[in-house]
Each structure stands twice: as C-alpha cells, then as structure tokens.
Amino acid sequence: MTRLSLDRVTFRYPATEAPALEDVSLEVAAGEVVALVGSVGAGASTLLLVAGDLAPRVVGGRLEGRVIFDGAGGDLRGIVLPMPWTQLSGMAFTVWDEVAFGPANLGLPRDEIVRQVDRAVARLGIEHLVARDPTTLSGGELQRVIVAGILAMRPTLLLLDEPTAELDLAGARTLWELVRALASEGTAILVATSDLDALPDVADRLVWLDRGRVAETGPVRLLASDEMLAANLSTTVASVWRAADLPAPYPVTVAQAMQRWQGR
C-alpha cells in the first residue's frame, strides 16, 4: 500500500527562481525504507519538507505537482529534522515531557500518552534520560529524544533527515536497526542520509537526487555503480574495491567483499 506519493513535484523556495526540486516523482509503500542520497544541496532535505507538508505550508515557496499522503484514517506523518536542537518544543522541563509533547498535542487520553511515551523511550534506549532537562543533553542524546517524540505519535509515514548525524557508529547502528524494525511493523520510511555504508543493511531502495532532480532510482547495489562511484556516492567497500582495480561488479558491503575474496 502506497503511503506517500510525489507526482512530478517542482518546488521553489520564496524569492528564488531556480527550483530546489524539479519534476520529482517517487512513492513510498507501507513497510518500505527508501533512502534519499545525493551531495549536499541536492534537494533531499527540501524533499522531506515537501513530503512532511512543511514546504510550502510553513516555509513558503511554490509547489507544482502533487504530494499525496492519505491521512484520512487518522494516519500521521512524522518528520525528524536535521540538527535536533532545532526541533525541541521549548516547553518541556524534562525529557519525558518533551517526548510527551507530540502525543499530548494530538489530544490523546492521558493513559495512552503515558503508554506511547514509555514505549518510545524504551525503543530509543533513553530511560536513563527521562528526568533530565532536554536543554542539557549532548547532541547524540538529543537526537534520540527527538526521534522518540516523533515515534510517540505513532506515525505511519516517517521522514528522517540525517537521523544519525549526531550519533556514534554504535548509536547509528542501533538507530538503523530501529528503522528496520519500524518498517517491519508497517511504517513507511523515507530517509535522507549521508551514511551510505549503512544503506545496504537498511534501505530497500534508493533515490539518487542530483541538483533537485532524480538522477537514478533502484536497489542499493546502485551504490557500486560506475555512475555513483564517479559521483563519490558509493559505499566505502565499493570504492576501495574499484581503487584496487579489482573486477566489477564491486561488492558494496564487507560481507560481500569477503565472499568475493574467498571465491577468488
């Protein structure tokens, strides 16, 4: 079931002529993880703002084409913005209250709020932080808190912009495992990330954005394609393999490299 559909979307920020997104079409189905990859400035963040109904509604600008998200059955889309401190409510004195801010604004009954907050807190492994003042957290701690606050609203479409930017590799791995788990429960996930090495284990498909347009879309093994290697958008393993002048197709993960190496 398609949760999100962009149909020939072109978007311009206020007072700009050049489109930030141009003629972009994509779909994300329930249970699917789609990764947006591209260089800085390619339009991934803008695409998430459009998909999350923040652009043009909040940031202004002009949209052509259609963004279809069916919220009729009470379905929600949740967006995790880059730089988590920009997403704090500013109205909570504790992490628990911060995570509760979203569900409280949805007008859920109190016991339901408690249930969802406790569940989200447990899923992010931030039980030890619930009594802390959100403004005193480290970047990595805050990133988990923001994700918990979004999950507590139980979105059916989750939009993530660089969700691991503040996390260490172990924290990032845990977050990616959570993304997979959410997808397996039926959440549709669209994630912009520069953590390309994680994608083979996380994403079902990728959409390569280049200067606001979809350059390529397909399976994650595209990360070993000549085009993505040339654009410096491959996995590390693929780029090392090519730099060593070993034959294509290049492996994208360490596990694939081991198989290839042992089968020499």
Partner 1 sequence: MAGPLTAALRFDRVSFSYGVVQALAEVSFELEPGEGVALLGRNGAGKSTLVRLVTGLARPGAGTIWVGDWDTRDVTPDQVARRVGSVFQHADQQLFARTLEDDVAFGPRALGLAPADVAGRVARALAALELGAHARDHPYDLPPALRKLAALAGALALEPSLLVLDEPTAGLDRALRERVARALLERAAGGAALLVITHDLTFGAEVLDRALVLDRGRLVCDESLAGLLTTAPRLEALGLIPPPVAALSTALDLPGRPVRAADAARMLARVAGGRPVP
246 binds partner 1 (CB under 8 A): yes
Task: State the Cα–Cα distance between residues 175 and 188, nearest whole angstrom.
Answer: 16
The phi and psi torsions of 24 (rounded to 5 degrees) equal -95, 125
The phi and psi torsions of 16 (rounded to 5 degrees) equal -125, 150
Task: State the Cα–Cα distance between residues 155 and 4, nearest whole angstrom.
Answer: 12
Question: Catalytic: which of 22, 32, 162, 166?
Answer: 162
Q: Which x/- pattern, by CB under 8 A, does the window 81-120 give for partner 1? A: -xx-x-----------------------------------
Closest distance of CB 113 from partner 1, Å:
27
Nearer to partner 1, 106 or 165 (CB): 165
98 is catalytic: no
Task: Report the side by side order of strands in the sheet with 213-218.
Answer: 77-80, 157-161, 188-192, 33-37, 205-210, 213-218
Task: State the Cα–Cα distance between residues 213 and 205, nearest whole angstrom.
Answer: 17
User: Which residues are bridge partners to 205 per DSSP?
Assistant: 34
SS3 206: strand
Closest distance of CB 43 from partner 1, Å:
11
173 binds partner 1 (CB under 8 A): yes
69, amino acid identity: F
Nearer to partner 1, 36 or 188 (CB): 36
Q: Which x/- pattern, by CB under 8 A, does the window 21-60 give for partner 1? A: -----------------xxxx-------------------
168 binds partner 1 (CB under 8 A): yes
Contact with partner 1 (CB under 8 A): which of 15, 131, 138, 263? 138
Select the span of 66-74, 93-101, 191-199, 211-219 touching partner 1 (CB under 8 A). 191-199
